Chain A
Amino acid sequence: MATKVFMEALSPTMEEGRLVKWLKAEGDAVKSGDVLAEVETDKAIMELVARGDGVLRKRLLDEGATSPVSTLIAVIAAKDEDISALTAGAPAAAPKAAAPSPQQSAAALSAQQPAAPASTPAAGTPGPTPHAPSPTAATTRQRSSPLARRLAVERGLDLGSIGGSGPGGRIVKRDVESAPGVTAAPAATRAPVRAASGEDFRDVPLTQIRKTIARRLAESIGPVPTFYLTAEFDLERAAEMRSAMAELGDEYKVSFNDIVMKAVATALAQHPECNAHWLGDHMRYFNRVHLGMAVAVEDGLITPVIFDADRKGLRELALEARELAGRARERRLKPEEYTGSTFSVSNLGMFGIDHFTAIINPPEAGILAIGGIEPKPVVFDGNVVVRRRLRVTMSCDHRVIDGATGARFLQTLRRLLELPLLLTY
């Protein structure tokens, strides 16, 4: 009995996948549960496992090629079983994939321009947007009427870029008709990288993660009525605490980011009205604090989640943040590790950004943008002194959080960061 191997939906929002690497060759014996291949989803590189026993008789997708979810990509069958009926009609694996992957085009460019350093994407190159929270898949699927779907296809519109005005956010005809022209694909162009070779431009295909970011950000900036609250905190005491802890030994070393995250989690536990999701026809306030933490990865960003961040000690939180960020950069996060956040933080302080605004990651109601910690002259006890200061901006979904609500949360956060001993309370 032959088993068809399909491109599976390996993340909740995955629509197509790129086959990174086959781990079994044609002719290899496989058992149910064996890893057949590594597949790049819109979020991470995942393992595709066999769903039946036998011999991997035919691979129908090349490494580097992309196929939609539910496409037949291989056949497992008994050694002598006739599988021609199964593979007939399926495109035979061709030596060159139709759609070049970023790596392939980069390689091609390298071949033509061997001296061009820009032909390899620089790790950590910031994208055109200062910050984009990674989409979580915690939201329900985008609803749309059959007619809206058909019209969107006819007009070349991406439904994900259109806000729905029907019940439960359903995209209906009028939404498609009022959508601006063909999608501008805001994230399709990356920040230009100056090419030493004299090339005027460099075309880079959209990766799965880039596509998802584009879709989700457009979804956010469109329908989410956002306002921003900025505050500057005095981090002198927190800095002293951090130095004192570091003197105790390496195991006590924490980053400013860890301290801020701990404070945010503690403040959220005290302000559930900010720890909330907007769910179209209702709001959901969370009793637990699952803190999303935006991490820049090679071609985008992702938001791993520190679950129950408010209940974790500073050291535990610091270790977990470091570990998650590391695996995020290797794109080895499991879907459950980057979904389910109730509130997010984004820190660009390490890039020398002293202040920015972040885009809310729906359905979350808020996100906190953390700038860099800088020594600044400030008036303190009637004298101008130099203190280490931090500016944060909270983006709030006004449907959930009102101005005063957000301000009270920032008040608590200020208290916790300016009197960091409270974090031990």
Chain B
Amino acid sequence: MAVVTYRDALNQALREEMQRDDRVFLMGEEVGVYQGAYKVSKGLLQEFGEMRVVDTPITELGFAGIGVGAAMVGLRPVIEFMTWNFALLAIDQVVNSAAKLHYMSGGQFNIPIVFRGPNGAALQLSAQHSQAFESWLAHVPGLKVVSPGTPHDAKGLLKSAVRDDNPVIFFEGEMLYNTKGEVPDEEYLIPIGKADQKREGEHCTIVTYGKSVLLAMPAADQLAREGIRVDVIDLRTVRPMDVDAITASVRKTNRAVVLEEGWEVAGIGAQVVDYIQRDCFDDLDAPVVRVHQADVPMPYAKNLERAAKPDVAKTIAAVKKVMYLE
């Protein structure tokens, strides 16, 4: 198995899907000539030409709408947002058009579209460019929301997203693009809506997804050195959520920590906690603890930004809290 970066895993997925199906095309700012702001689309313009790798002006609402229209007439667009922070300008097309048309046309139109790009905070990009939007979009019926944390999951899920006949929101991460991991040489797909147990343990469950997997794994390593073995459940997809994977783990460990990048209020973690209290009430030995970003706009100052973000130490502290080891 080759070790590749998250960036290259996405690039492989796009290339393979564009080779497989000529209805698939990529559109967004700087995806063509510049080879992508984060080089995810490297080489695609050269291979597929400018009819299928389309550079757009800085008009998020416009190209998102063109994408929805293209999907309505049978194409399978992949719309790249340079970051999801910019996609706020396009949210009407995502929420009011892409998510609704299948329903409001009585099933006459499928909208097989992928909206993808980096989500959440990188480093010192300040309040307007450091936001995690998964709970905004997961809120909307009609959208699927995917947030892989490893190159392997990113490739398999992006391929599934392109083949899905419904709009799929695909969250990547600037801090993820350079991370490396094993990716199978042969073709594979990962189903949307299926979690992955990234670590097995019996003392506590950590439910997480996306970039936060990179916090959960070192936290699990450190805890293991103290004799605390945690189950790490990587949701990979936040909508539809793999509730069975969560509850099976919590029934085993009796304790859970939910770790996410975004804010606390109405976050994905709140939904996870709801599933746990609903299905695992009599299995819980402690209230579920959440780890998340501080409830403030992301600070620019390096020290404040560090304090505001979830991290390994906060995750370990949360696990110890639910285990009554404080």
Contacts and interface: CB of A to CB of B under 8 A. Distances in A.
Nearest to A171: B285
A172 B282 contact: no
B281 interface: yes
A165 B284 CA distance: 16
A165 B282 contact: no
Contacts of A167: 324
A172 B254 CA distance: 11
B71 to A, nearest CB: 46
A353 interface: no
Interface residues of B, number: 8
Interface string A140-162: 00000111111000000000000
Contacts of B281: 146
Contacts of A146: 281-285
A173 B322 CA distance: 12
Interface of B: prevailing SS: loop
Nearest to B254: A147
Contacts of A145: 284-286
A174 B324 contact: yes
A147 B282 contact: yes
A172 B285 CA distance: 6
A420 B284 CA distance: 58
A147 B324 contact: no
Contacts of B282: 146-147, 149-150
A166 B324 contact: yes
Contact of B254 (A149, A165, A166, A173): A173
Contact of B324 (A149, A150, A172): A172
Contacts of B284: 145-147
Interface string B308-325: 000000000000000010
Contacts of A147: 254, 282-285
Interface of A: prevailing SS: helix
Nearest to A147: B285
Contacts of B283: 146-147, 150
A194 to B, nearest CB: 48
A172 B324 CA distance: 9
B256 to A, nearest CB: 12
Interface in B241-290: 254, 281-286
A107 B283 CA distance: 45
B288 to A, nearest CB: 12
B138 to A, nearest CB: 27
A174 B203 CA distance: 12
Nearest to B286: A145
Contacts of A173: 254, 285
Contacts of A174: 324
A308 B284 CA distance: 44
A147 B285 CA distance: 5
A166 B254 CA distance: 15
A146 B324 CA distance: 15
Contacts of A148: 285
A18 to B, nearest CB: 30
A150 B254 CA distance: 12
Interface in A159-198: 165-167, 172-174
A165 B283 CA distance: 18
Contact of B286 (A149, A150, A172): A172
B65 to A, nearest CB: 49
A160 B323 CA distance: 22
A149 to B, nearest CB: 8
A173 B324 CA distance: 10
Contacts of B254: 147, 173
A164 to B, nearest CB: 10
A147 B322 CA distance: 13
A173 B254 CA distance: 9
B180 to A, nearest CB: 39
A168 to B, nearest CB: 11
A232 B323 CA distance: 49
Interface in A233-259: none
A173 B204 CA distance: 13
B324 A165 contact: yes
B56 to A, nearest CB: 53
Residue picked from A146, A172, A174, most chain B C-beta under 10 Å = A146
A167 B326 CA distance: 10
Residue picked from B254, B285, B286, B324, most chain A C-beta under 10 Å = B285
Given A146-B281, A149-B282, 14 more contacts: A145-B284, A145-B285, A145-B286, A147-B254, A147-B285, A148-B285, A150-B283, A165-B324, A166-B286, A166-B324, A167-B324, A172-B285, A173-B285, A174-B324
Interface of B: 254, 281-286, 324
**Closest CB pairs A-B (n = 4):** A147-B285, A173-B285, A145-B285, A150-B282
11 contacts: A145-B284, A146-B283, A146-B284, A147-B283, A148-B285, A150-B283, A166-B286, A167-B324, A172-B286, A173-B254, A174-B324
